[in-house]
Amino acid sequence: MTFSRRKFLKTSAATAALTATTGSGMKLLAEQVGGASEWTKSVCRFCGTGCGVYVGVTNGKVVAVTGDESNHNAGLLCMKGAMLPQIMDAPDRLKQPLIRKNGKLEPASWDEAMALVAAKFGEAVEQHGADSVAFYGSGQGLTEETYVANKLFKAGFRTNNVEGNPRLCMASAVGGYLTSFGKDEPMGCYEDMDHADVFFIIGSNTAEAHPVLWDRILRRKRGNPDVKIIVVDPRRTVTAREADLHISFIPGTDLAIVNAMANVIVNEGMADEQFIADHITFGAGKEANKNWADYKQWIQQYTPEKAAQIAGCRAEDIQQAALWVGARGKTAMSLWTMGLNQRTRGVWINNLVINLHLITGKIGIPGSTPLSLTGQPNACGGVRDGGALSANLPYGRLIAKEEDRAEMEKLWGLPPGTIQAKPGLPTMDLFNGVVDGKIKALYVMCTNPAQTLPNVGRYRKAIERGDTFMVVTEAYHPTQTSAMASVVLPAALWAEKEGVYGCTERRYQFLPKSVEPLGEARPDMDILCDLGRRLGLGNVVNFRSADDVWEEILKVCKGTKYDFSGMKRERLRESHGLQWPLPSDGHPGTKRRFVRGDDPMVPADHPQRVLFYGRPDHRAVVWMRPFEPPAEVTDAEYPFYFTTTRVIEHWHTSTMTGNMKEMKRALEATADVNPADAKAKGFSDGQQVRIVSRRGSQTFRLRITDDSPRGLVNVQMHDPKHMCNFLTIDAVDPGSKQPEFKICAVKLEKA
């Protein structure tokens, strides 16, 4: 290693990052590429950036991955994408089914394993009713497999207990878009980054979590030195270090900061009164009947001085951020991820950031948009759009709406009343159903909850009890979750199966099957269809291939606000990504939603440039959301805030990236503490410390760093040997039901 980690992250250009991590990354890449004999166009397995790749294959093995120059990433990849070949035949790939016998997981045949799974699910439904079974899926499953799971459980088993890790990830962003616009999913696109004058980055460490997008932001700034980057994050992240203005603050208090920015915008006369008159309503539902005058009055309480006092930051910085974001004639783009979503006030803070765009009219113009960055490669396409959550049905339909259920029953050819009218259990309630014994059989697909649930000790104990039959489909073994399973089924991995991913900007992309699955592994979709057939639900999952499923999906999305019925399989296969809405064969797709001339849902002769058609009154909502503290604040006993984050090298529970030899170094989770706090506690760098919360304790190696402000300890989420989730809190946002992974209170002790 010739470069420090910080230095190579600073340069950020993805290839440079690759070079620095590997020492000889460019050489490695060149060798990889030289060794491949066939190439297929695909998509990266990892983050919601959704970089286009080419997969190089020789003798039936993935030997290389390079960036697709014709896709949005213009050929760039971060090191995780470039090292994808290393995850394929790693030593811990699972090659055959396992069944727990006398407490131990033992190899079994597919037939034996599937017969057991079918028997257990059938038995549970028969003896305890449909709601005693549940599905827990993932924003990393392919659209087709997630669709099949959703249909099998809601239409076949007739339970709405269908959830997935997007509840831990994007639920508050969904809640924000729904309450502000009436429909989920961002209106903007990546191309907006090439036009933005101001980047307002709040609760996102873009440089590490969305590196190729970060590169695009830095390119914009290098070409246009007047471009401003504002970062609002308690930590001095790699992203914050590049900012023109970094606001560090007490975790959870950014509701006050963003309201104070709106206060400055209003009082400096930077609001767009015409846009407000044409397109905005203030409050909705129980809080309707408010107007612009009410809002102007309400926002007066959030002076920059008051917010600065609440947040522990400088009033001048809030003022400056507002003046940049609000400046007339300048474009502004907001970007956010888990720093906002993983909060008990996640929906509210999403609304408040969106407010900044609505009161200034900075929306639907190239370079002006709120854009929540999605974490997983298919959280948008599979789970959100596909409606694979407990209160949802595909493409914007809701369980609670009778006409939506009836429409899905018709589309699915089911007798009326088949879909239960009662929503299922959101993720934390679902796992509490395991705790109190109500969930008798649980199907876990493409996620590792025994490491990634908050307050995980509580749920691990319940699973370990063994009275819930848990089947886990996994590509690797053991993982924290597979090790506790009743049955583990080997899943075909990325590049071993075909399907669709949908990333942040409503971009759908096709992933072909490039190689055969390893060992006896099977695609998740095949496993689900097999289970359905064994339980006499063959009519519900009567699919021979992912192509079949896509055909059905095109019918189901037609006529909805998501309409992408023009994305025929062949077209998607050939394309470098297509953005919905795309309602007919020749339609080019939609870069900016709600915009006349771009979005096909807006009539061409609409008198204004935007139409917020997601809500019945065609108006977007500015909400008056007050500052409320997080669920747990510090006190004399637990004096430190605790947050949990990611690093560029690793993906979540590191089952995949842990197999990349260049990344091993960055896997051990550290307790990141400010130098002044370390000194006050008498701690030295590298020593073992115990972090204790009201829920549990864990030991970590101490890292003294000014990344952490005083009073905050940060730990990374990737390391299965030192798990931060024994400490995190499982309090959820009342609207989105997303847990507050980002904030709780802890104390520090010498280990």
> Mind telling me the catalytic residues?
80, 169-170, 338, 375-376
Shortest Å, Cβ 169 to Mo ion = 3
- Residues 44, 307, 463, 484: which binds ligand SF4 (CB under 6 A)? 44
746 binds ligand MGD (CB under 6 A): no
Q: Which residue spans within 504-547 are E strands per DSSP?
A: 507-511
- Tell the smallest beta-carbon distance from residue 584 to ligand MGD (Å): 32
Give the whole-angstrom CA distance, residue 256 versus residue 310.
Answer: 7
204 binds ligand MGD (CB under 6 A): yes
- Taken in order 357, 363, 367, 370, the sign of the CA dihedral is positive
C-alpha to C-alpha distance for 441 and 657, rounded to whole angstroms: 30
Q: Quick one: the chain helix, strand, coil %, rounded to 5?
A: 35, 20, 45
Q: Of the candidates 68, 163, 208, 242, which one interacts with ligand MGD according to CB under 6 A?
A: 208
Q: What is the nearest approach in angstroms of ligand MGD to the Cβ of residue 691?
A: 12
DSSP-assigned states of every residue in 618-666: S-EEE--PPP---SS---SSS-EEEEEE--TT--TT-TTGGG-GGGGGG
User: Is residue 169 a contact point for Mo ion (CB under 5 A)?
Assistant: yes
Q: Quick check: 381 binds ligand SF4 (CB under 6 A)? A: no
3-state DSSP call for residue 441? Answer: strand
Distance from C-alpha of 271 to C-alpha of 190, rounded to nearest angstrom: 25
Question: Applying CB under 6 A, which of residues 50, 234, 361, 583 lies at the interface with ligand MGD?
Answer: 234
Q: Which of 182, 211, 583, 600 binds ligand SF4 (CB under 6 A)?
A: 211
Residue choice 141, 364, 375, 583 for contact with Mo ion (CB under 5 A): 375
Q: Quick one: 371 or 472, whose CB is closer to ligand SF4?
A: 371
Q: Which of 49, 378 has the CB closer to ligand SF4?
A: 49
The binder of 212, among ligand MGD, Mo ion, ligand SF4, none, by C-beta within 5 to 8 A per type, is: ligand SF4
**Which residues between 671 and 690 bind ligand MGD (CB under 6 A)?**
none
Number of residues that bind ligand MGD (CB under 6 A): 59
* CB neighbour burial string for 479-515, b if at least 16 within 10 angstroms, e if fewer: bbbbebbbbbbbbbbbbbbbbbbbbbbbbbbbbebbb
Choose the contact partner of 51 out of ligand MGD, Mo ion, ligand SF4, none; CB within 5 to 8 A by kind: ligand SF4
Reported residue count of the chain is 751
With CB atoms as reference, the residue minimizing the distance to ligand SF4 is 81
What are 22's two structure tokens? 């590997």
Cβ–Cβ < 8 Å for 400, 391: yes
**Which residues, other chains included, contact 385 with Cβ-Cβ below 8 Å and sequence gap of 6+?**
143, 184, 185, 394, 395, 502, 557, 562
User: Using the rule CB under 6 A, which residue among 357, 652, 722, 747 binds ligand MGD?
Assistant: 652
49 part of the interface to ligand SF4, by CB under 6 A: yes
d(CA 443, CA 473): 8
How far apart CA 267 and CA 328 sit, in angstroms, is 14
At position 152, the amino acid (one-letter code) is L
Binding partner of 256, given ligand MGD, ligand SF4, Mo ion, none, CB within 5-8 angstroms per partner class: none
Phi, psi (deg, nearest 5) at residue 430: -60, -45
Q: Which does 337 bind (CB under 5 to 8 A by kind): ligand SF4, Mo ion, ligand MGD, none?
A: ligand MGD
Q: How far is the CB of 525 from ligand MGD (least distance, A)?
A: 10
**CA geometry: angle at 581 spanning 576 and 585, to 5°?**
70
User: For residues 56-95, which are near ligand SF4 according to CB under 6 A?
Assistant: 77-78, 80-81
Q: Which is nearer to ligand SF4, 212 or 227 (CB)?
A: 212
Provide, rounded to whole angstroms, the least separation between the CB of residue 676 and ligand MGD.
18
Subset of 585-644 contacting ligand MGD (CB under 6 A): 643-644
81, interface contact from Mo ion, ligand MGD, ligand SF4, none, CB < 5-8 Å by kind: ligand SF4
Is there a contact between 120 and 442 (Cβ–Cβ < 8 Å)? no
C-beta of 326 vs 339, nearer to ligand MGD: 339
Residue 372 interacting with ligand MGD (CB under 6 A): no
Give phi and psi for 533, each to the nearest 5.
Answer: -60, -40
Alpha helix segments (H runs only) across 102-170: 110-128, 143-151
- 612 to each of 186, 390, 603, how far by Cα in Å? 12, 27, 12
Number of H helices, E strands in the chain: 26, 28
Q: Which of 728, 730, 733, 746 binds ligand MGD (CB under 6 A)?
A: 728
Q: Which residues bind ligand MGD (CB under 6 A)?
A: 47, 138, 140, 165, 168-169, 202-205, 208-209, 232-235, 237, 251-252, 254, 337-340, 342, 375-376, 445-449, 452, 473-476, 479, 491, 493, 524, 643-646, 648, 650-653, 655-656, 717, 724-725, 728, 741-743
